[in-house]
Structure 1
Amino acid sequence: MTNLASNLVATAGRVPDKVGIKLDQIEVTWSGLHRAAAKVAGQLRAAGIEQGDRVTLILPNVPAYPVAFYGVLLAGGIVVPMNPLLKAGEIEYYYEDSGAKLSFVWPDFAEEAHKAAAQTGTRVVVCGPMGPADGELPDADPILEAADRADDDTAVILYTSGTTGKPKGAELTHFNLHRNAQVSASEIMQMSEDDVIMGCLPLFHVFGLTCGLNTAVQRGCTLTLIPRFDPAKAIEVIGRDHVTIFQGVPTMYAAILNHPDGDGADTSSLRTCVSGGSAMPAQVMRAFEEKFHCQILEGYGLSETSPVASFNMPDAPTKPGTIGRAIPGCEMKLVDLDGNDTPPGDIGEIAIRGENIMKGYWNRPEATATAIPDGWFRSGDLATVDEDGYFTIVDRKKDMIIRGGLNVYPREVEEVLYTHPDVLEAAVVGVPDELMGEEVAAAVALRPGSTTTVEEIQQYVKDRIAAYKYPRHIWRVDELPKGPTGKILRREVRPSA
């Protein structure tokens, strides 16, 4: 196996007439997906895209996503998935940093993409449900066979923010993604061709990409998509399409559990549910399993680990509240600040090595060396491990907020707040939220004499960053708590009553 797209070629040859991708009344067979992706690959080549060139995807969960994704890979390009909710300034950074030559964009997001492309020269290609709209790319012969790529060639660049600085692109190789999907399919979800996967996780996120799309392509089962998560729609699709495997973040499980449509729903087909992104409350897990008669398996991973690193496995005892044990082909341990193994029972930082670890951060050798100083990737997450090898997260990357399974980094939101002329000081923190797990909140100190309202500040931020990032709660303070050096202490910021 070299090119990840070889899996699509093989599956299309093995089960050509089986429905692979579904979106309500739209059904795409595996041979149909292969033909559509091959057409895109040929068009990309005719448009001047060469092996190793970067192509971004700004698409929701529609069939055009797998068509474009595998089309880029068939042509030997590198895919850069992007959150469709990003604004022009954010898109421009991704285009510039990745050096993207071309961007596949859904019509709803074309305006922001065009604004960004005007600064970078990236070619914007507007898509319909099944791929590029007519006339967007030149006609060309399809490329049916995957371009020859090495196992350690980069297949995907996934941008992930640190708590400081700009987002960094994690380079995931063809082998990283192939093996992680293979282990996820066989060891965790025990998939067969007969399975139907619920595709409500965004495909631009590594969890949905690997565990949803890439596993379905490998196994030849069906992925039924929802463009944007809605609990009522998810419940409807589970019954309609006889979904056997549900993949989600804890907020999705809570939303389905608490939705009135769930009471009379036909969920008899559900067998296995997998959860990641953040810790699932034990009571939500128990109630969901009892109500819908299925098993929830909780695990852990990061963009840099393709993503799956550990899981509670179906054939071993599950321990609710833990992230399970390291998956095959991956090792996990706990280390102290100096990189030494921590004594049994102590809290340490999760360090990971194995087949799933990224090649490095795109064009950032220093950041790569910091993250993987000795062959072990430093996750930034603190945990304990028991005598059976089950890990339990006790804290996570400093200051990061996980809102509905999506990471929000306070520094990025603060930087936007600080561009407002009346904001003197700002601190962004996470506050507990029943639906989202955590909500984004901000304390601001305004310039003396300012008449700006918190509602105006909220709208100002909302206009400049993705909708999931802007603060839902903002309150005024005279000044923010600071340490001896004058550094604002986020940990001491308390929401106003």
Structure 2
Amino acid sequence: MVDKKTFKGIVCGDRHLSHEEFQKEIRKAAAGFKALGVKEGECIGIFMRNDIPFLIANHAANFIGSYAVPINWHLAGEELSYILNDCNAKVLVIHADLWRSIHDAIPNGVTCLVVETPEDLHEAFGLSPEVCRVPVEQIHWQEWLDSCEPTEEEAVVGPSSMLYTSGTTGHPKGVRRAPLRGDDAAAMRNFRSRVYGCAPKARCMVPGPLYHSAPNGYAMQASAISDLLVIVPRFDAEDTLKLIEDYKLTGAIMVPIMFIRMLKLSEAVRNKYDLSSLEFVIHAAAPCPADVKKAMIEWFGPVINEFYGSTESNAITALNSEQALAKPGSVGKTVEEADIRILDENGNILPPNTIGEIYSRFPLLDFTYHGKPEARAEIDRDGYITSGDMGYMDEDGYLFIADRAKDMVISGGVNIYPAEIEAVLHNYPGLKDCAVFGIPDEEFGESVMAVLEVEPRSSISVDHVKNFLREHLAGFKVPRFIEIGKDLPREDSGKIFKRRLRDKYWENSGRKI
């Protein structure tokens, strides 16, 4: 019987691997990958839900100096084909149920290692046991792994994972970094310990998808140097609280929608669990409404931290609980490893409290786009890169995000930032979530549209919502159209697939902006 409060190693569902067992599996997979002909600098695709073999494959790829390429398992066949062809993957590690649904899209010449989809994933995703078994004609991951002898070679100083950007415009691009060596590698470990909280002796949890850059980097570090890493197959609000109590977790990486769902638990459920072990909860990936942040700090204590960044830039700001309360809405101050500039359209540095495009540099983790150096040049100004976010620095050096440049609505020549409207909407009673975006308007070019997701058993009046917004925003920012939606489409990170909502309004307009 495992003593959850003292266990050290890797956990997923009911499965527990000690660090020694985990490292042995990594060395076996590393030997197996080399036997399959994978060389330094080549790529190994990972198309899986959260699972222990995901991290074994990820670490083993790095061990032999190759690039692990975690791929969003929601992608359609041709999207998977594109990434595997673009990175010229030699091997694909894939869950059995996913292989069954997408195997026709796997390019010829890619060796598939099929992982039996474990029982905790059956339950979390409502999968039938039949689709979770490895087909007899395919290479069974565990059988293959058991046939490999652990390599006794020293690990190559391998690169970090090569993650592909979401590809909202054109094809996704692989963010490729050179391996870190010596002092640079140590500096990066120290950086993640300080900013992410996944430090030595920490007991960590990752409920977000491992194919996303932040959860992936967090999990890779925590599984290597922390006492414990709990991999959560699929986020559930109450289950998360139970895991914190059961394993005496000290840290976790989350996204704001997880906070919102936990805060919506009844007071009786919230008070049921002992969360006193928590020391450092980090969140990122989406804007966190200031009232949600404040409520989480009041509940969890001053352990809530935030960083801001992107797959390309890494974490470039950090914010602790005290700073969040002092500067509501900020995403923090620039970390010492990075530098940030706010630029206008002509590349001029803007003064404090003036909205412009956010550019940053993080010399330790410079990158190129795999096979697309010209795409890297397109987002570069004097060595600083942008992910298209708009924002400003205040007089104290705190960064505030206004919105994505591509999400900004221009109505009658006036710039409107949906994130500002969404932040106000999140305070409306009975509202579960919302998405604000621009739709075509013959007179003004664009009009502001809001789609609202309402809590069960709540009733919301559109006119009342508009009146509420007028109390907090200038009239031109109040959405002209408001629609009540249901089960808004989401990524695993919790972000709403705003593009899916927006596209139906633009597809017959003959234009995109």
Q: Which residue does 1:280 correspond to in 2? A: 288
1:300 alignment partner, one of 304, 308, 318: 308
Alignment of 1:98-247 (within 5 A): 98-117=87-106, 119-128=107-116, 133-136=141-144, 139-149=147-157, 154-175=159-180, 179-187=187-195, 189=197, 191-193=199-201, 195-211=202-218, 213-247=219-253
Q: 1:41 to 1:316 in 2, by over 3 A?
A: same
SS in 1 for 2:69: strand
Q: TM-score, normalised by structure 2?
A: 0.72
1:248 alignment partner, one of 254, 259, 265: 254
Q: Which residue does 2:80 correspond to in 1? A: 91
Could you tell me how far apart the structure 2 residues matched to 1:429 and 1:54 are?
42
- One-letter amino acid of the counterpart of residue 208, structure 1: P
CA contact (8 A) 1:182 1:218 kept: no
- One-letter amino acid of the counterpart of residue 261, structure 2: A
Could you tell me how far apart the structure 2 residues matched to 1:399 and 1:348 are?
14
Correspondence 1:487 to 2:494: no
Q: 1:471: how far off?
A: 7.9
Q: 1:182: how far off?
A: 2.7
Q: Which residue does 1:361 correspond to in 2? A: 369
SS in 2 for 1:253: helix
Could you tell me how far apart the structure 1 residues matched to 2:364 and 2:140 are?
32
Q: Which has the higher contact order (CA 8 A, sep 6+)?
A: 1
Q: Which residue does 1:310 correspond to in 2? A: 317
Q: 1:112 to 1:136 in 2, by over 3 A?
A: farther
Q: Does 24-33 or 361-370 show the bigger shift?
A: 24-33
Could you tell me how far apart the structure 2 residues matched to 1:275 and 1:434 are?
24
Q: 1:160 to 1:397 in 2, by over 3 A?
A: farther
User: What number of residue pairs does the alignment pair up?
Assistant: 413
2:35 alignment partner, one of 30, 46, 53: 46
Q: Which residue does 2:45 correspond to in 1? A: 56
2:406 alignment partner, one of 374, 398, 421: 398
Percent identity between matched residues is 26
Q: 1:141 to 1:351 in 2, by over 3 A?
A: same
Could you tell me how far apart the structure 2 residues matched to 1:343 and 1:257 are?
37
Could you tell me how far apart the structure 2 residues matched to 1:308 and 1:183 are?
10
Query: Is there any run of 5+ residues in structure 1 with no aligned partner, and where?
Result: 1-16, 411-426, 436-457, 490-497
Correspondence 1:342 to 2:350: yes
Q: TM-score, normalised by structure 1?
A: 0.74
CA contact (8 A) 1:74 1:145 kept: no
Q: 1:36: how far off?
A: 0.3
Could you tell me how far apart the structure 2 residues matched to 1:114 and 1:188 are?
36
- One-letter amino acid of the counterpart of residue 343, structure 1: P
SS in 2 for 1:155: coil
Could you tell me how far apart the structure 2 residues matched to 1:252 and 1:178 are?
31
**Cα root mean square deviation, aligned:** 3.6
CA contact (8 A) 1:55 1:77 kept: yes
Q: 1:389: how far off?
A: 1.2
CA contact (8 A) 2:62 2:156 kept: no
Q: 1:145 to 1:255 in 2, by over 3 A?
A: farther
Could you tell me how far apart the structure 1 residues matched to 2:102 and 2:145 are?
17
Q: 1:68 to 1:296 in 2, by over 3 A?
A: same
2:273 alignment partner, one of 265, 271, 287: 265
Q: Which residue does 2:65 correspond to in 1? A: 76
Q: 1:161: how far off?
A: 3.1
Q: 1:234: how far off?
A: 1.0
Q: Does 129-138 or 307-316 show the bigger shift?
A: 129-138
Q: Which residue does 1:35 correspond to in 2? A: 24
